[in-house]
C-alpha cells in the first residue's frame, strides 16, 4: 500500500518542497509517501470558480490510482488527533488499498469530488493555504506512523 498526496498546484516555493521531502523521506519502504501534483486551472481565463474547480477535479480523477481510498483534506472535515490518525493509518494498511489524500487549490475542491470521498478530514479548523497543507500533512502522517511503531519521535 502507498500513501499519495494528490494536490492541486505545481511549481511550489522551495520551502514547501523541502518541508514535504523532509517527512516523505522518513517514511518506511513499506509505506511510501508520494506527491502527485495536478495543474491548477489558470485564474486569468474568466472562468467561473465552479468551472475552474470542475476542471481541477477532472485532473485529480485522472491522477487517482484505480480502487484507491479517497480522503479529502477539507477545513470542514472531521477533526483528528495524532492518535486517531494513527488508528486510521493502521486501518488503511489493514485494508490494503492505496490511499489518496486529496488537497484542493486556491478555491478548494468541487462539491462532486468531495461527495465521492470515503472520508473528509481536517488538519485544523483554520483555513490553510494549499501549499502549506503538503508539509503539514506529510509530518502528520510520519508522526502517526511513529505512534504505530512506538518510535520516540512522538511524545505524549
Ligand atoms: C485555500 S484552501 C481552499 C479554501 C476554500 N475556501 C475551501 O472551502 O476549501 C485550499 C485547500 O487546502 C486544503 N485545506 C485548507 N485548510 C485546510 C484544513 N484546515 N485542513 C485540511 N485541509 C485544508 C483543502 O484541501 C483545500 O481545498
Q: Which residue has the cell 485494508?
A: 95
Task: Give, in degrees to the nearest 5, the angle at Cα 101 between 34 and 72.
Answer: 165
| Ligand 1 atom closest to Cα of residue 106 | 1
Q: Name the nearest CA neighbour of 5 among 151, 144, 130.
A: 130
Query: In DSSP terms, which residues pair with 7 in a beta bridge?
Result: 37, 103
Q: Hey, what's the cell of 57?
A: 477535479
Q: For ligand 1, which residues put their CB under 6 angstroms from it?
A: 73-75, 103-104, 106-109, 122-124, 126-130, 133
Q: ipTM of this model? A: 0.98
Beta bridge partners of residue 69, listed in sequence order: 99
Query: Which ligand 1 atom minimizes the distance to the CA of 109?
Result: 27
The predicted structure's pLDDT at residue 44: 87
Q: 137 C-alpha vs ligand 1 centroid, how far in Å?
A: 12
Residues of the binding site: 73, 104, 123-128
Could you read off the pLDDT of 53-81 as tens digits, one per residue? 999 999 999 999 999 999 999 999 999 99
Q: How many CB atoms lie within 10 A of CB 121?
A: 19
Helix (H, G, I), strand (E, B) or coil at 42: coil
**Grid coordinates 506529510 are at which residue?**
138
Give SS3 for 60.
helix
Residue 45 pLDDT > 90: no
Does 1 score more than 90 pLDDT? yes
118 C-alpha vs ligand 1 centroid, how far in Å? 17
Contact 89, 117 (CB under 8 A): no
Mean pLDDT of 24-49: 95
- Residues 142 and 33: their CA atoms lie apart, in Å, by 9
Q: What pLDDT is attached to residue 61?
A: 98
What residues does each domain of the chain span? Answer: 3-148
Q: What is the pTM assigned to this prediction?
A: 0.97
Using only C-alpha atoms, the chain has a radius of gyration, in whole angstroms, of 15
Pairing of strands 119-122, 3-8: unpaired
Q: Per the annotation, where are the binding residues for S-adenosyl-L-methionine?
A: 73, 104, 123-128
The CATH code of domain 3-148 reads 3.40.1280.10
**Per-residue pLDDT tens digits for 99-151:** 999 999 999 999 999 999 999 999 999 999 999 999 999 999 999 999 999 99
Reply yes or no on whether the pLDDT at 156 is more than 90. Answer: no
Amino acid at each position: 500500500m502507498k500513501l499519495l498526496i494528490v494536490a492541486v498546484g505545481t511549481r511550489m516555493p522551495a520551502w514547501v518542497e523541502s518541508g514535504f521531502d523532509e517527512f516523505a523521506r522518513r517514511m518506511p519502504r513499506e509505506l511510501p509517501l508520494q506527491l502527485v501534483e495536478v495543474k491548477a486551472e489558470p485564474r486569468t481565463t474568466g472562468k467561473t470558480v465552479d468551472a475552474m474547480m470542475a476542471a481541477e477535479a477532472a485532473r485529480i480523477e485522472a491522477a487517482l490510482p484505480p480502487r484507491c481510498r479517497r480522503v479529502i483534506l477539507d477545513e470542514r472535515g472531521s477533526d483528528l488527533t495524532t492518535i486517531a490518525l494513527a488508528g486510521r493509518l493502521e486501518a488503511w494498511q489493514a485494508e490494503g488499498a492505496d490511499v489518496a489524500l486529496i488537497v484542493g487549490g486556491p478555491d478548494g475542491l468541487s462539491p462532486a469530488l468531495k461527495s465521492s470521498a470515503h472520508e473528509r478530514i481536517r488538519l485544523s479548523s483554520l483555513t490553510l493555504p494549499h501549499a502549506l497543507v503538503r508539509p503539514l500533512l506529510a509530518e502528520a502522517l510520519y508522526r502517526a506512523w511513529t505512534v504505530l511503531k512506538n518510535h520516540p519521535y512522538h511524545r505524549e
